[in-house]
Structure 1
């Protein structure tokens, strides 16, 4: 593409030759001649002088910048658009419904959908327009899948679950497995039937090998726009609010309510039956044991407000020195006591 075409698409301000040929995008420290890169994080500005890229996207003017550039409001978002411009067509490996797929005759599949070989589509399943089902996917009875969804290999969607539009489920995702419900009685655990389902709303993306359990009764709900990383466990009857992001290896216990626009970093553990309010940020490896107020930033296990936890961490680093000081003071105090006894 020509640089001007890219600038027009980004609605950015072009500084440089509009007819410059751009062959694709690249990282600022790895780009080759012909590629376009971007600068959104100031720590990468050191690569400006050495980058081999032919053009760059920025959102703040850089004094003395000789490289052709496009000035935009948000360089990170703009580069996302560039990646899309240069992304080849997806999901063109197969077309229509493969004869090697197992499709129940009661399933209702839009003619524009693609069902790959070795997929299984169960009774009374509904699949919408342009949805793509890859090999090894299993969709059990009464499942509803909306338009423009992609289910990658070895995804399992259990009975009665509902998936909205433009949902992406990566390899190995399991939707609607039984919740971890057992009643202890007479020294044994007795399984509690899990008769609810999972509802995934529009524009949700779920990473590889993540699992979302069906509700005991009612629904486990992942609301619109949520982004869930690989290896995340979400238990029965959890509610996750709009546009919340959850990073890898997080575990969320049953009946937790998570608000809108929450950010949960990696390896976070959350106990059951609590509420995390809107716009909360949870730092990595935190343990959440009680409700978190709106807008709070928490860290640690048990998680505390970030400022308080940092002070605790700073104090902990000084602990050996403080222990030595206490011992020294104890020795001085004992010496004073001995001196007083001798005077008596």
Structure 2
């Protein structure tokens, strides 16, 4: 195993400190916790938003703490859910008197620990709601989940629900916004290589040089099908057609798309996929209204990518384009 770390035990703690050093204008670390919160808190009376999960998905989730997105992000150990007390610390850091929305990816540990944290918050009189993200269409149930997994589309929930919270919407309304994003979104990914979890010291699975894995998760889980290596055009079309079918998209529909690197796939290759995606969308009469390309939710050093499509209406489009200022995503009004 070759990784730029000191010890397995200190990976997350040191990484959180490094994030604060790099982005002090955005982030502060809640003392004694694995929580990154806004350096400049949101205005009182606004709904707070918390997300989080295992580390290893950077820039998720701490990279999305800032204006227009998250108020706090909670980090677990690599690919391991944060504990309930850590999530509760995140809730307290995000509470500005109007309640807190928790954006939770559909993994059994995350769901359980965030639910326990909600009970702790309820005991302190902090109202909470949950948006459960399950955008991965590849599998219905997996090693980590009951139902579909939550993957890169989670970032669209952060962005759009975050904009609603900045507008001053109440907790129920912000939850409804997030739920609507999930209902209109689908994602699927593929891998060319596995990743190596520091605590394990070896790749989670092996792929031959002429193989790729379709439908992988973000924790190094193998996918649903091992297939011969495809060209960029072929794999992009495979994912695009699956997502269009899942969302029942038709001519004239407007979508936002995220072309997401799993960690080791360079922008050059993502750009080739994006060019093909545009071609396929034009042929289908689907309008690519906004395209996000880059690293948004990774799986350590896995080579591969995921594709997310989000059906847009007027409100989702406006909120997706609203101002956001975070370490990993900055959007200025056009």
* Both proteins in one fold, TM over 0.5: no
Higher relative contact order (CA 8 A, sep 6+): 2
What's the TM-score once normalised by structure 2's chain length?
0.22
Q: Which has the larger radius of gyration?
A: 1
**How does the TM-score come out when normalised to structure 1?**
0.21
